[in-house]
Amino acid sequence: MNLTSRHLEPRVHDALNAFRVVVLHGARQCGKTTLARLITEDREGTYVTLDDDAVREAAVADPVTFLTTQGFPLTIDEIQLGGDRLIRAIKQIVDRDPEPGRFLLTGSTNFLTVPNISESLAGRVRILRLWPLSQAEIVGVSPTIESWFTDVPMTNGSGRFARDEYLELVCRGGYPEIIRLAPPARDSWVESYLETVTQRDIVALADIRKAAAIPRLLRWTSASTGQEISKTNAARDLGIDRATVNSYLEWLETVFLVHQIPAWSRNLAARATRKAKAHITDTGLAATLLGVTPTNLRPSTATATGQLLESFVVNEIARQMSAASGLRLDVSHYRDNHDREVDLIVERKDGAVIAIEIKATSTPSKGQLDHVRWFRDKLDKVSPDSFRAGILLHTGSQSLKVGDRLYAVPISALWSSDDSDL
C-alpha cells in the first residue's frame, strides 16, 4: 500500500533529536498512528497503544515498571487514556535521564486541555499537531505558503482546475481513509467517525450531561463555519444554555473538530472586532453533516459554498503552516464596525504580513480586494514595509497583478504553481 508522505515527519524527527518527550496530537484518523509507527521503525524503537485494554491496564496499574521495561525510544499511542499517573511517571524517567528522544506520545485530544492530565511536562516536551492531509501532501508537493512572503505564485492563466473540481475537494476533505472512498461510503464513514468522537471520546473524558447536544452543536457550527460564533444564538437554536454551548465548543476544539482563528491584534482601527472566527477543521465532515454535495454547492445562490470554500482554504493554509520549517507563522482575521473584513491574515514572526481574501468566483475583479487595499494602506502608515502581499484566492484560472502588492491567483496555487492534477 502506498503511503502519503507527511510534511510533518521531518519536524517530528528534529524534535526527537532535541527534546526528551515529543507529543504528536491531532484528530482521530488523521494519520497519527501511521506516522508514529513509521518514525518508531526508523528509530528502531518500541510502539504500544493504550487503545488496547490489556496494555492500558498494565500502564495505569504500574506505570514506572511498564515504561522502563520497554525499549526506547518508546511510542505510546493515545496517551490521554493513561491519565496523569502515566504522564507523571514519564516525567520522573526523563528527569533522571534527560537524553533526547525517549518518548513519542500521540493523542486524539489536545494534550494541554485534557482534564485528566494536569502535568504539562513543561520544559521537557515539544508538542506538534498533525492535521488531516493537505492538498499539497495529496499531490506530493512541498508546502508553499512560506514562499508567498517573497514570491506570490503566478500561473499565467494556465490553471486546469475548474470551479466544480474545487467543490469536489471541499466535499471530500482530507482524512486519509476518506480519500479513496466513493461518496456513499464516505458518508457512512463520517457518520461512524463522528459518533465515535462525540459520543465516546468526549463523553469518556468529560462530565457530559447532554451528550446528544454535541453532534447537534457540531452540525450548527458546520453551518456557521468561517463566521464569528454567537453562543447566544447557538443556545437559543439548540435549546441549551449558553454555558453548555461554551463548554461543548471547547470540547469540540479539544478533539480537533473545530478550530478558531483569532482577531488580528494590531490596532488599525479603534473599534476593530476582537471576536474569533470558528472553522470546522475538515470540510468533508462539514459537508456530510450539512447534507451538501458538489451539485448542491454549484449554483451561485448556494449560501454554503462561500463559507465551506473559505474553511477549505483556511484549513489548507493551517495544515501547511503546521509543517513549515522556517519562521513561525500565525493566522488571524480582521473585521471592524464599518464591515471591512479580511478573511485571513498570515503573519510571520518578524511582523511581515500577507492578507488573503477567498472567493468562490471564477471571474475575479480588483474590487473584491477593496478591503485588503484599505488594510494595506493603513498598515503602510503604522508599520511600513510589513505588508508584503494582498491576495485574492479564487476558483478561476487567471493569475493577475491588480495593484501595488495586490494579486488575484487560483486557489490551486496553494499546492502547485502549475496546478497539479487532483
**Residue 41's CATH number:** 3.40.50.300
Q: State the alpha helices, DSSP H only, in 197-302.
A: 202-205, 213-223, 231-238, 242-254, 283-290, 294-297
Same domain flag for 396 and 279? yes
In a domain, 16, yes or no: yes
In a domain, 238, yes or no: no
In a domain, 49, yes or no: yes
Residue with cell 525499549: 71
In a domain, 51, yes or no: yes
Same domain flag for 49 and 149? no
Give the three cell numbers for residue 133.
492531509
Q: Which range of residues forms the domain containing residue 57?
A: 9-129
In a domain, 383, yes or no: yes
In a domain, 221, yes or no: no
What is the DSSP secondary structure assignment for residue 217, as one 8-state letter? H
Same domain flag for 265 and 149? yes
CA dihedral in degrees (16, 17, 21, 23; nearest 10)? -30
Same domain flag for 275 and 379? yes
Same domain flag for 159 and 294? yes
Q: CA-CA distance, 86 to 327, in Å (whole number)?
A: 34
Same domain flag for 20 and 90? yes
Same domain flag for 124 and 268? no
Same domain flag for 72 and 154? no
Q: CA-CA distance, 218 to 257, in Å (whole number)?
A: 8
- Evaluate whether 17 touches 101 at the Cβ level (below 8 Å): yes
Check residue 37 and give its pLDDT: 97
Same domain flag for 343 and 358? yes
Same domain flag for 144 and 125? no
Same domain flag for 383 and 318? yes
Q: pTM here?
A: 0.92
Check residue 158 and give its pLDDT: 47
Strands 329-335 and 341-348: antiparallel
In a domain, 200, yes or no: no
Check residue 327 and give its pLDDT: 62
> Last residue of a domain, which of 63, 97, 129?
129
> Last residue of a domain, which of 129, 149, 166?
129
- Nearest in space to 305 (alpha carbons), one of 181, 421, 170: 170
Same domain flag for 286 and 407? yes
Residue ranges of the chain with per-residue pLDDT less than 70:
1-2, 116, 155-160, 207, 209, 267-273, 325-327, 417-422
Check residue 419 and give its pLDDT: 43
Check residue 204 and give its pLDDT: 76
In a domain, 195, yes or no: no
Q: CA-CA distance, 414 to 315, in Å (whole number)?
A: 11
> Last residue of a domain, which of 129, 145, 164?
129
Backbone angle region of 201, left / alpha / beta, with phi > 0 → left and psi within -120 to 50 → alpha: alpha
Query: In this structure, how many other beta carbons lie within 10 angstroms of the beta carbon of residue 250?
Result: 13
Domain count of the fold of the chain? 2
